[in-house]
Structure 1
Amino acid sequence: MEYALYKGDTLLQIGTVDELAKFKNVKRETILFYTSRAYRRRTSEKNGLRVIKID
């Protein structure tokens, strides 16, 4: 499954959860947390990272 990692309107990387974790130097679980509604509520659209699932 592929995901896109954004910061604001800027696309940072496209890849699997493991590839994005390696790119950001974080755990796999952290990338999955970035996809959650709880994370979106806690961060601003401008400064927070967003991970979007690509079909």
Structure 2
Amino acid sequence: MGFGSYDESEQQDQNAGDVDDNDGVTVHEHTHDGDVSFESDASQEELLDKLEDMK
């Protein structure tokens, strides 16, 4: 088998009519609108230093 060869038995007519529309992906299924907040005892300078260390 050379490059680009394929087994023709795998290329049979694949009927898309058997697809159930309910099996699709719902992209907004887990979409949430809200706020995220947190409290930290670290100063802004400490946080920026930590960020710089991670980079």
TM-score by length of 1: 0.19
Higher CA-based Rg = 2
TM-score scaled to structure 2, two decimals?
0.19
Report 1 or 2 for greater relative contact order, CA contacts < 8 Å, sequence distance ≥ 6.
1
